[in-house]
Every structure is written in structure tokens, then in C-alpha cells.
């Protein structure tokens, strides 16, 4: 899953936009963005952050400075050291496939940031927030809290491919005011492109995605 291989695989399955969202870290994302330069694909930097309630949230940015600021914020609120024998080596790999560093933080752990504060901080940095795999029985906002609180500031909700967009609308009628997305949640190269969301955009920018998630100016999720 090094940056160049991810970009090449995404191009090979005709994806237009991908987001690099490692758990509680964004150190690999800039290298994936570099690997995509000059190629017909847009790479957003992001993170899959674990709140203090153990809710997974995708935070996506279009600004390197905002992504860097969010990473620092999360690292300041994440304790513990990685156990390589149990969880594997956490390598930071550049666009050439070279190992730049080994991340020793316990990235599989939870931060001490409450969900509401996490969403607020992502939005202050002009990022997008997507509730991860809400239909999963662990690490989702519904599994951990029991429901999505009315007015909770998610920009969209992600469901797994096994549920899909149509079934999600039937399964969660109380969440009809949110946009749903599906993604591969790829942890292996072979999984990239196995699930995707089609979105009507004028160009591949975060501002366009924001409009699509709110159904403005003709931008929308193609369910």
C-alpha cells in the first residue's frame, strides 16, 4: 500500500478521486499526492480519526496546512506506543517507495477528543467530516452511541458496500437529511475500486464535494 502503488491501482480501475485516510495519521498522504502529480486523478489528504467514544470519523482536506494542523492536533491527543509484533510496522513511505520513517504512535488506539469537539475542529480547518461505516457493529457512531444525534455536524455518512446506498435509505429513514457515500475502505491494493460513489461535480475540489453533499448548484450524490 505504498503511495505510488495506490495511485497506479486507482488509475487502473478508473477512479477520478481518492482520499488517503490512515488511522489517526496523515503522514503518508502528502506522498500519495506527490505520486499523483501530472496524472488524471485527484488525491485528497485525510485521516480516519478515532474519537474518545471510539467512533471512526473520516476527515478530508484540500489544504496541506490544514491537514498538517489536524495531524498535530490528533497527535497531541493520542497516547500509547505501537506494538509492532501485535499491530505491525507503521511505515511512512514516500512517492518513490522509500521508507522515510517508522511511526511509533499507537495509531490503532482512540484519541481523547470527544466526537463533537472533533467535528468542530475539522470544520474550523475547512475540512469535511464523514461518519465511517455507520452500519458496522463496531467503531461506528451508531454502534458506539446508539444513534446519530440530530444536528450532529457530519457532512456525509458512509455505509459499507454490503448495505449500499439504496438499502441505506430504507434502513435509516431518520437520517434522510444526510448524504450517504460508499467506499472500498481499502486496506489492501486488491480492494481499491471494489466499491465507489458516483458524484456529479464540475471539478475535483473539496468545495465541489461540499456542494454535492448538500445538493447545491446541481452537484449531488448519484444514488
pLDDT, tens digit, 9 for 90 and up, residues 138-180 = 999 999 999 999 889 999 999 999 999 999 999 999 999 999 9
- Give me the domain span that covers residue 135: 3-221
Q: What is the rounded distance in angstroms from the CA atom of residue 145 to the CA atom of residue 127?
A: 23
Which grid coordinates belong to 116? 463533537
CATH number of the domain encompassing residue 38: 3.20.20.140
Q: Give the pLDDT of residue 20.
A: 97
Q: Give the pLDDT of residue 104.
A: 97
pLDDT, tens digit, 9 for 90 and up, residues 121-137 = 999 999 999 999 999 99
Is the pTM higher than 0.75? The answer reads yes
Q: Region 77-104: what's the mean pLDDT? A: 96
- pLDDT surpasses 90 at 223: no
Domain count, the chain: 1
Q: What angle do CA 149, 152, 153 make, to 5 degrees?
A: 165
Q: Residues of the chain with pLDDT > 90: what percent? A: 98
Amino acid at each position: 500500500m505504498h503511495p505510488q502503488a495506490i495511485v497506479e491501482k486507482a488509475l487502473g480501475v478508473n477512479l477520478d478521486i481518492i482520499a488517503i485516510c490512515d488511522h489517526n495519521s496523515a503522514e503518508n498522504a502528502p506522498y500519495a499526492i506527490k505520486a499523483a502529480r501530472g496524472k488524471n486523478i485527484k488525491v485528497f489528504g485525510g485521516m480516519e480519526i478515532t474519537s474518545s467514544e471510539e467512533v471512526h470519523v473520516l476527515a478530508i482536506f484540500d489544504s496541506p496546512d490544514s491537514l498538517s494542523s489536524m495531524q498535530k492536533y490528533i497527535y497531541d491527543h493520542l497516547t500509547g506506543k505501537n506494538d509492532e509484533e501485535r499491530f505491525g510496522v507503521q511505515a511512512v513511505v514516500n512517492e518513490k517507495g522509500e521508507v522515510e520513517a517508522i511511526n511509533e504512535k499507537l495509531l490503532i488506539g482512540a484519541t481523547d477528543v470527544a466526537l463533537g469537539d472533533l467535528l468542530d475542529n475539522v470544520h474550523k480547518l475547512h475540512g469535511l467530516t464523514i461518519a465511517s461505516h455507520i452500519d458496522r457493529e463496531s467503531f461506528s457512531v451508531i454502534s458506539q452511541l446508539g444513534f446519530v444525534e440530530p444536528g450532529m455536524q457530519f457532512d456525509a455518512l458512509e455505509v459499507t458496500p454490503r448495505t449500499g446506498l439504496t438499502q441505506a435509505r430504507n434502513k435509516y429513514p431518520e437520517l434522510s437529511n444526510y448524504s450517504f457515500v460508499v467506499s472500498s475502505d481499502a486496506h489492501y491494493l486488491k480492494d481499491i475500486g471494489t466499491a465507489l460513489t458516483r458524484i456529479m461535480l464540475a471539478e475535483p475540489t473539496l468545495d465541489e464535494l461540499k456542494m454535492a453533499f448538500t445538493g447545491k448548484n446541481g452537484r449531488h450524490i448519484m444514488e
